[in-house]
Chains A and B, each alone.
Chain A
């Protein structure tokens, strides 16, 4: 089963497809120009020692973003059984 959740809620190594980026303004632009747009496949790579920022793998590169930014990214993931 598929479900759409916020990127912040994803766990380590979980993969998914971005469905929507709801951030606007400067943050939205920054998120999008780095390739975080609808239909992009991502995977959570890990989190910093204090659980924030989060590192994600996108295509062949690794991006980091803070949890409050990850809140604006909605990802479709497989729901665990």
Chain B
């Protein structure tokens, strides 16, 4: 019977076009998970080819298969334990020697292999001609030329892969000679292993021998299961190592690598013809400019600035539109649901909370799109290269720059994918240090509150202030990294041997997939965690209610004010009693609603006796004069406005009392003694507590806390205006608050990501460390500012 289901493991060097091939093969039918127990991403997809159901597993892109990097170990374990039917190795034809190193390692393991000789078009342009048949014969592996980005040759790869999968059942390791000394000890180790009946048949014996000689920690651990065998092998290994060291003055590992490259050189000599002797190709010439010692950094600045401008200009319109959509949704939901807790929950809790997160999706999407261009074109590697020396001063790695930029290093990003991006760092200490400082960057969620505060207190130099805050966040992040790396995470720097991949024109498909993956991580949090937290926050800001007694005393106060209004003789002549006054309130409200909605109010000619008063009130509100004569209507209208003001004041006091009575209000007040030293009152504290859940919530919470007693809080720019007028606020408070928000606790989702990527201990540390840093820095800023007389 024919086997209908086939598993293909896709492997290859980074930058060999493996991801492009995977995308071309599986299209949108991709799934992402983690390999069990580790944070290495496992991508897989399914496709049907010639009646066969094919599972494609995208192994991590690696140069080698050693035990010292997590990705390589994961790839190796997958091959050994899952036994895919066939491995398709994507090999960059324009860079054959280094790419065949991995292919050779597969051959040595003996896995059924098909080589996709990718990017043959690029190789051709560079004058590199690969003889596919010769290569295939010498390696004893089917070789298929492909151009993955143009979807060329991939069908044939699948054909060959199916053939291999159907024919080969056993792994057939190839034998490479490593010189007399090593070969001899390899044979000895093989004998030792084969003599044992119980040895793990998952691994080919000679391969185990090689790993032992290379000092592979994982394999040595596995061997420990049989202590006798293990000690016998260890002895052979150490003897060989000593001998090699004495005679060749090299480590065995080095000799093995040299031989592998020698073996490959022998193959490529026969299979590869160079028409043009390697000279500067286009990519090198671009590098002469883009990584030039003088111009490189300048160009980098310009590129980052252009990305910043592009993201914010292009996303402005969609962000506004999305806001309108949410406002519309809010409006229509409000009219459907009757007044009460349910309405409050849905409108202020769910729609505001989730809306504030989703509203920024366009901005984040365009930022990720720009970052994807930098990555896919190969420029990101150059940024890492140029900045490595700087980042190393602070105990980070050139590659840390990517995580920092994704998290908002250019302004606007998200720390969640930023935390994920630290996976490219190999050294755990550098990785954790990067993880911990990534939340200091100005992610997209912090921008709205920054915008409000800048608009209120730093008018005129908006862009400059934003730029200053971006620089400050970098300064804090780097300084914090330095501190962490010279105390808690002291340790040596890891090697920086890194490839500068040739510049490539990114494919739209690749860019879109990259953008989508990261944006989705951001969107996902709106649907799940933010939704839950919004509801909790809403409850915290709503309950418990004021005691009945207090509500009644506010009602009584309102009654008194209204009664004294009605007692004015002129008023009395027009508005007889409380009932007429309520009718006036309603009429005025309706009037204003229609004006707001349609721009103008069409007088339908119904002659309500109160209409002249309403018109007078509206005219007065707009500061318009109605004729020269001060009629009775106008005087009544004037009194009405005074009444309205008094009513608003009472309502405001009631809402303030209500807010203070709630859980959030109490927490905010409890914190006041601490936060007063950095200039924050209880309302700011409430917003900051809300920011624990997600930084987006700060604006809406602050808006709610400051909208108390106002008649039209929905108007945009309202919060800025309100803060500007508030005596408790000044530029120094605003500046301190921005710094505090920049630094204080990462949002909930980021904390979870940090926990998953490192440990819960580090997530806890991150929370405390950031909160402490934020408070300390804010304290210094605020107190120094005060003593300089800035806080006025």
List residues of A whose CB falls within 8 A of some B CB: 20-21, 24, 26-40, 45-53, 55, 57-66, 69
Report whether B390 and A50 are in contact in the complex, using a CB–CB cutoff of 8 Å: yes
Report whether A33 and B66 are in contact in the complex, using a CB–CB cutoff of 8 Å: yes
Question: Interface size of B by Cβ–Cβ distance < 8 Å?
Answer: 49
List 4 tightest A-B contacts by C-beta distance, closest first: A50-B389, A32-B257, A33-B64, A62-B500
How far does the alpha carbon of A45 sit from the alpha carbon of B293 in the complex, in Å? 12
Report whether A45 and B63 are in contact in the complex, using a CB–CB cutoff of 8 Å: no
CB of B284 within 8 A of chain A?
yes
Contacts of B95 in A (CB 8 A): 59-61
Identify 12 new A-B residue pairs, CB closer than 8 A, beyond the known A45-B287, A65-B498: A20-B250, A24-B253, A31-B497, A48-B291, A48-B385, A49-B296, A51-B389, A52-B389, A59-B95, A59-B278, A61-B95, A64-B498
Nearest A residue to B98, CB-CB: A35
Report whether B291 and A55 are in contact in the complex, using a CB–CB cutoff of 8 Å: yes
How far does the alpha carbon of A49 sit from the alpha carbon of B301 in the complex, in Å? 13
Question: Could you name 25 residue pairs across A and B whose Cβ atoms are closer than 8 Å?
Answer: A24-B251, A26-B68, A26-B494, A26-B495, A29-B68, A33-B101, A34-B499, A37-B254, A40-B261, A46-B288, A46-B291, A48-B296, A51-B389, A52-B389, A53-B385, A53-B398, A55-B500, A59-B98, A60-B95, A60-B128, A61-B501, A63-B499, A65-B495, A66-B388, A69-B495
CB of B173 within 8 A of chain A?
no
Nearest A residue to B72, CB-CB: A33
Distance from B212 Cβ to chain A, minimum over Cβ atoms (Å)? 15
Nearest A residue to B386, CB-CB: A48
Within 8 A of A (CB), among B127-146: 128
Within 8 A of A (CB), among B67-107: 68, 94-98, 101
Contacts of A62 in B (CB 8 A): 283-284, 287, 499-500, 502
Report whether A63 and B287 are in contact in the complex, using a CB–CB cutoff of 8 Å: no
With A29-B68, A64-B385 in contact, is A69–B284 under 8 Å at CB? no
With A29-B253, A40-B261, A69-B497 in contact, is A47–B293 under 8 Å at CB? yes
CB of B126 within 8 A of chain A?
yes
With A50-B389, A57-B284, A59-B278 in contact, is A35–B97 under 8 Å at CB? yes
List residues of B whose CB falls within 8 A of some A CB: 63-64, 66, 68, 94-98, 101, 126, 128, 250-251, 253-254, 257-258, 261-262, 265, 278, 283-284, 287-288, 291-294, 296-297, 385-386, 388-390, 392, 398, 493-502
Report whether B496 and A53 are in contact in the complex, using a CB–CB cutoff of 8 Å: yes
How far does the alpha carbon of A48 sit from the alpha carbon of B494 in the complex, in Å? 18
Report whether A66 and B257 are in contact in the complex, using a CB–CB cutoff of 8 Å: no
Contacts of B94 in A (CB 8 A): 60
With A47-B293, A60-B126, A60-B128 in contact, is A35–B261 under 8 Å at CB? yes
Contacts of A59 in B (CB 8 A): 95, 97-98, 278
Report whether B291 and A35 are in contact in the complex, using a CB–CB cutoff of 8 Å: no
Report whether A27 and B495 are in contact in the complex, using a CB–CB cutoff of 8 Å: yes
How far does the alpha carbon of A47 sit from the alpha carbon of B288 in the complex, in Å? 10
How far does the alpha carbon of A50 sit from the alpha carbon of B294 in the complex, in Å? 10
How far does the alpha carbon of A70 sit from the alpha carbon of B288 in the complex, in Å? 21
How far does the alpha carbon of A38 sit from the alpha carbon of B591 in the complex, in Å? 87
Contacts of A48 in B (CB 8 A): 291, 293, 296, 385-386, 388-389
Contacts of A69 in B (CB 8 A): 495-497
Nearest B residue to A41, CB-CB: B278
Distance from A38 Cβ to chain B, minimum over Cβ atoms (Å)? 5
Distance from A53 Cβ to chain B, minimum over Cβ atoms (Å)? 5
Report whether B497 and A63 are in contact in the complex, using a CB–CB cutoff of 8 Å: yes
Report whether A30 and B497 are in contact in the complex, using a CB–CB cutoff of 8 Å: yes
Contact of B261 among A28, A37, A50 (CB under 8 A): A37
Nearest B residue to A59, CB-CB: B97
How far does the alpha carbon of A55 sit from the alpha carbon of B95 in the complex, in Å? 17
How far does the alpha carbon of A27 sit from the alpha carbon of B292 in the complex, in Å? 27
Distance from A67 Cβ to chain B, minimum over Cβ atoms (Å)? 9
How far does the alpha carbon of A31 sit from the alpha carbon of B496 in the complex, in Å? 9
Report whether A60 and B278 are in contact in the complex, using a CB–CB cutoff of 8 Å: yes
Contacts of A20 in B (CB 8 A): 250
Contacts of A55 in B (CB 8 A): 287, 291, 385, 500
Contacts of B98 in A (CB 8 A): 34-35, 58-59, 61
How far does the alpha carbon of A46 sit from the alpha carbon of B297 in the complex, in Å? 14
Distance from A63 Cβ to chain B, minimum over Cβ atoms (Å)? 6
How far does the alpha carbon of A59 sit from the alpha carbon of B284 in the complex, in Å? 13
Contacts of A27 in B (CB 8 A): 495
How far does the alpha carbon of A32 sit from the alpha carbon of B63 in the complex, in Å? 10
Distance from A50 Cβ to chain B, minimum over Cβ atoms (Å)? 4
Query: Which of B96, B262, B386, B498 is most buried by chain A, counting CB atoms within 10 A of its CB?
Result: B498
Report whether A31 and B495 are in contact in the complex, using a CB–CB cutoff of 8 Å: yes
Nearest A residue to B427, CB-CB: A26
How far does the alpha carbon of A36 sit from the alpha carbon of B96 in the complex, in Å? 14
With A38-B258, A40-B261 in contact, is A28–B251 under 8 Å at CB? yes
How far does the alpha carbon of A50 sit from the alpha carbon of B494 in the complex, in Å? 19
How far does the alpha carbon of A40 sit from the alpha carbon of B262 in the complex, in Å? 10
How far does the alpha carbon of A59 sit from the alpha carbon of B96 in the complex, in Å? 9
Distance from B259 Cβ to chain A, minimum over Cβ atoms (Å)? 9
Contacts of A45 in B (CB 8 A): 284, 287
How far does the alpha carbon of A45 sit from the alpha carbon of B495 in the complex, in Å? 19
Contacts of A58 in B (CB 8 A): 98
Distance from B152 Cβ to chain A, minimum over Cβ atoms (Å)? 21
